[in-house]
Amino acid sequence: QVQLVESGGGSVQAGGSLRLSCVASGYSYSISCMAWFRQAPGLAREGVAFINSAGDGGYTNSVKGRFTISRDNARNTLYLQMNSLKVEDAAMYYCAAKPSSANCYSDSESWFDYWGRGTQVTVSS
């Protein structure tokens, strides 16, 4: 069965950095659209970054220039490097997968088939 396991969350001060990881199993990882979503308390889940099989990434405006999404197809691992963190970046971060889709045709959470349990990111001022 498909599994996505996130790690790397934690508590940092504003301006700091974190690197999230998501290890995938149970499907052909190299042919998949992968994404990071986040959800803060009381808010809807939002797409943060997306990456296709070729490694081309896309970002929501609020994180452009600060976050970098990448993937290692040999290790079945997705990453999110988060720099210059802001208090408003604090949220639960989720890894999402759309297997068998080399490209990311949608940024809607409903388009993605599988989700991890999340890793918490806390940013203090």
Hunting for tokens 């220039």 — which residue is that? 65
Residue with tokens 């599988």: 114
- Per DSSP, the three-state class of 9 is coil
Q: Both tokens of residue 40?
A: 């803060």
What are 35-46's pLDDT values in tens digits? 999 999 999 999
The β-bridge partners of 66 are none
**For residue 115, what pLDDT is reported?**
98
Nearest-CA neighbor of 1 among 22, 23, 27, 32?
27
- Residue 41 CA to its chain's centroid (Å): 18
pLDDT tens digit sequence for 18-62: 999 999 999 999 999 999 999 999 999 999 999 999 999 999 999
